[in-house]
């Protein structure tokens, strides 16, 4: 939990026209990341519960010192921004950034994954993830079989128009060059 009452917040755009990053001077998630696509997924995490109470909020992504808010097409962005900042100001001092989601508690060490998935994860870590995370999102490897890689976008990337175009093409190109020349990357 934070020891200071002063929460500094910088709002930044993302490539997703319906998402904003709120960068703070305090951690939101110390380890890993958390994406909440519905209010029910944030139950027990007061910061998430309160952010979902803001009209227009559709998804939240917590990573390091950033909360990315994806909002409805018809949301009043100025009002939403003010309300998100107000919730962050009031809830961050009591927020516990060391929380773990159920899937994080039972997460398997990558060394137990098949070698091809380990190699894919390593390539994505070195070439792609830092960019996606910098834009308020991330990428989960779901399945790899018969040269077909299924991925799930997280955070702002989940609803970003470029995630199924240029971003997907770039990921596929990198994996074709560094892993399998016949790989097809498919979002699920």
Question: What's the rounded Cα separation, in Å, for the pair 28 and 145?
Answer: 35
Last residue of a domain, one of 102, 119, 152: 102
Sign of CA dihedral 15, 20, 25, 31: negative
Quick one: which of 84, 12, 93 has its CA closest to 48? Answer: 84
pLDDT band of residue 3 (cuts 50, 70, 90) is: very low
Q: Helix (H, G, I), strand (E, B), or coil: what is residue 99?
A: coil
The domain spanning residue 66 has which CATH number?
A: 3.30.1370.70
**Are residue 74 and residue 145 in the same domain, yes or no?**
no
Helix axes 115-127, 166-178, angle to 10 degrees: 120
Q: Are residues 21 and 84 in the same domain?
A: yes
Structural domain for 158, as ranges: 110-187
Asked if residue 121 and residue 84 are part of one domain, the reply reads no
pTM of the model as a whole: 0.71
Residue 89: CB atoms within 10 A of its CB come to: 15
CATH number at residue 162: 3.30.300.130
Indicate the range of 1-5, 31-35, 73-77, 135-139 predicted with least confidence: 1-5
pLDDT tens-digit readout, 81-109: 999 999 999 999 999 999 888 766 555 56
Structure tokens of 105? 């508690």
Residue where one domain finishes, among candidates 102, 120, 139: 102
- Is 82 found in the same domain as 127? no
> Which of 102, 125, 143 finishes a domain?
102
């Amino acid at each position: 939990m934070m020891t200071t009452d002063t929460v500094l917040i910088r709002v930044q755009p993302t490539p997703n026209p319906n998402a904003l990053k709120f960068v703070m001077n305090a951690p939101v998630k110390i380890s890993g990341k958390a994406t909440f696509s519905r209010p029910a997924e944030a139950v027990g995490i007061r910061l998430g519960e309160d952010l979902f109470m803001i009209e227009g909020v559709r998804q939240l992504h917590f990573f390091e010192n950033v909360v990315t808010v994806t909002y409805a097409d018809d949301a009043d962005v100025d009002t939403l921004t003010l309300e998100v900042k107000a919730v962050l100001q009031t809830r961050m001092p009591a927020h516990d950034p060391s929380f773990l989601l159920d899937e994080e508690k039972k997460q398997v060490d990558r060394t137990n994954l098949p070698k091809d998935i380990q190699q894919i994860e390593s390539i994505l870590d070195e070439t792609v993830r830092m960019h996606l995370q910098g834009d308020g999102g991330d990428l989960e490897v779901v399945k790899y079989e018969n040269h077909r890689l299924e991925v799930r976008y997280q955070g702002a990337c989940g609803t970003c128009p470029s995630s199924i175009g240029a971003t997907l093409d770039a990921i596929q190109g990198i994996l074709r060059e560094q892993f399998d020349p016949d790989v097809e990357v498919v979002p699920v």
